[in-house]
Amino acid sequence: MKQRTIKQPATLKGVGLHTGHPVTLTFQPAPEDHGYKFQRTDIEGKPVFNADVNRVVSTQRGTTIKFEQVQISTIEHALSALVGLQIDNVLIQLDGPEVPILDGSALPFVQALRQAGIEEQEAEREYFEITQPVTYRDEATGTELMALPCDHFEVITLIDFNSEVLGQQYAQLSSLDNYEKEIAPCRTFVFLHELEVLFQQNLIRGGDLDNAIVIVDKNVEQVFLDELALKINKKSVKVREGILNTLDLHFKNEPARHKLLDVIGDLALMGHPVKGKIVATKPGHKANVEFAKLLKKQFQEQRKLKGKPVYDPDKAPLFDSVKIAQWLPHRYPFLLVDKIIEMSENYIVGVKNVTFNEQFFQGHFPNNPVMPGVLQVEAMAQTGGILALSTVEDPGNWDTYFLKIENVKFRYKVLPGDTILFKLEMVAPMRRGICQMLGTAYVGNRIVSEAELTAQMVRRS
């Protein structure tokens, strides 16, 4: 599926739920691979920064991200709307520190984006495909979020506030095609007994009975309701069927649906659309954000493995050990590549079968054999050397020498019995015999080491 953006800017005006300050939000079209970014237009320099889960600094009654000294709060509803409409690239401009609460749902954002129009771009969308279960649990709260393999994005939420008015509820979004009608209109909610605390903490200045469902799960006196009416600039408030207003719920399970809306918005912070089934039990912003961090970490690992070579031991190699020895000057015990299984102008894949008979295991380490990391880098260099030598007519008359090794990382131990796949990729055209390569070593589905290598080819005199 192609990436998408909006055709023209879309602007909304309102107040922040927690600050009560007027704010104008504008969605701007953005180029391919831009993702979601925020911009504070009211601050000198108009800083722009990614909507990234690692920037989250608060999850109290909403999700807040921070870049240097710049914060933006209550971002989850706007992000949820973007995901719900499957829009990938947008710049979100704000002239204040908080996204406007509007009616407490994602529907106003959806309507504004629809009016702006949605257009397809040329680049393909990059999904995070859930291939194995990913789980986050908070034993103290009973919260659990789980991602399961699925060929599309689906979300289920289960909530339980142990209340007669709001007990167990269930909500499900089986397809993003249903988001606009089934999830977007669902408003935020709060319990009446929480309101006084929120007022004291200055966390609910922009809320009124039109943008938040207030749930009354205990008997309250009219005096308290009259005082509350003054705080929210209402003549009076009433309790009807456990709800503190005269508005009807859009759905019987609107609170559970709104929690689902929040889950989608918070998970947008991982940076890529998900193909998987999300099951969220008693979710909240804090748990959602921690779960998004887990998913982002898994995605980054999966992304690295997308370039992992496929090794078929039954397939004849391009180079066996005899041919490798014709090209490279190295010999036992320092020839560390057994065969070459794949090669093009820009990359090469070599194989090393690690056995207990390797000489270096005698001293590294007795009774604890571990392949030295420096020898893994040497094996990368030998593999990359064959790729470099393939550019000359007489490879047997040339040698390659290290000039620089950078950004070396050793992630897992390599042990006897492992088969290492070395993939070396050119990162720049070869000039004057100097080649730059990115080396990655795989054992199974793990990246065990990686490095950036620079070497020079020199003809033997």
- What's the CA gap between 147 and 130, in Å, rounded? 7
Q: What is the pLDDT of residues 346-373, one digit of tens each?
A: 999 999 999 999 999 999 999 999 999 9
Structure tokens that stand for 138 in this block: 């908070």
What is the reported pLDDT for 436?
94
- What's the CA gap between 103 and 345, in Å, rounded? 57
What is the reported pLDDT for 430?
86
- Predicted confidence (pLDDT) at residue 266 exceeds the cutoff of 60: yes
- What's the CA gap between 10 and 18, in Å, rounded? 23
- Predicted confidence (pLDDT) at residue 245 exceeds the cutoff of 70: no
Read off the pLDDT band of 267 (50, 70, 90). Answer: very high
Question: Quick one: 70 and 218 in the same domain?
Answer: no
Question: Quick one: 280 and 374 in the same domain?
Answer: no
Q: What is the pLDDT of residues 105-143, one digit of tens each?
A: 999 999 999 999 999 999 999 999 999 999 999 999 999
Which one from 34, 258, 285, 330 is the annotated catalytic residue?
285
Question: Quick one: 443 and 367 in the same domain?
Answer: yes
> Domain limits at 159?
2-184+255-303
Q: Higher confidence at residue 248 or residue 435?
A: 435
Read off the pLDDT band of 227 (50, 70, 90). Answer: confident
Q: In angstroms, how far is CA 394 from the centroid of its own chain?
A: 47
Q: In angstroms, how far is CA 452 from the centroid of its own chain?
A: 25
- 8-state DSSP, 89: -
Among the listed ranges 241-250, 266-275, 304-313, 402-411, which one has the minimum average pLDDT value?
A: 241-250
Question: Quick one: 408 and 330 in the same domain?
Answer: yes
Composition of the chain by helix, strand, coil, percent to 5: 25, 35, 40
Q: Is 285 noted as a catalytic residue in this protein?
A: yes
Question: Quick one: 60 and 145 in the same domain?
Answer: yes
Whether 311 maps to a domain, the answer reads: no
Whether 308 maps to a domain, the answer reads: no
Whether 109 maps to a domain, the answer reads: yes
What is the reported pLDDT for 207?
57
Structural domain total, the chain: 3
What is the reported pLDDT for 206?
57
- Predicted confidence (pLDDT) at residue 183 exceeds the cutoff of 80: yes
Q: In angstroms, how far is CA 17 from the centroid of its own chain?
A: 27
- Predicted confidence (pLDDT) at residue 243 exceeds the cutoff of 60: yes
Question: Quick one: 331 and 237 in the same domain?
Answer: no
What is the reported pLDDT for 364?
96
Question: Quick one: 264 and 240 in the same domain?
Answer: no
Q: What CATH number is attached to the domain comprising 405? A: 3.10.129.10
Question: Quick one: 169 and 21 in the same domain?
Answer: yes
Q: Which residues contact 436 (CB under 8 A, 6 or more apart)?
A: 426, 427, 428, 452, 453, 454
Percentage of the residues of the chain whose pLDDT score is greater than 70? 96
451 with 439: CB under 8 angstroms? yes
Question: 5-36 burial string, b = 16+ CB within 10 Å, else e?
Answer: bbeeebebebbbbbbeeebebbbbbbebebbb
Which one from 34, 250, 330, 364 is the annotated catalytic residue?
364
Q: How many CA atoms lie within 13 A of 265 on its CB side?
A: 32
What is the reported pLDDT for 107?
98
**C-alpha angle 262-264-266 in degrees, rounded to nearest 5:** 65
Over the chain, what is the mean pLDDT? 93
Q: What is the pLDDT of residues 195-212, one digit of tens each?
A: 767 666 665 665 556 788
Region 393-408 average pLDDT: 92
- What's the CA gap between 115 and 460, in Å, rounded? 69
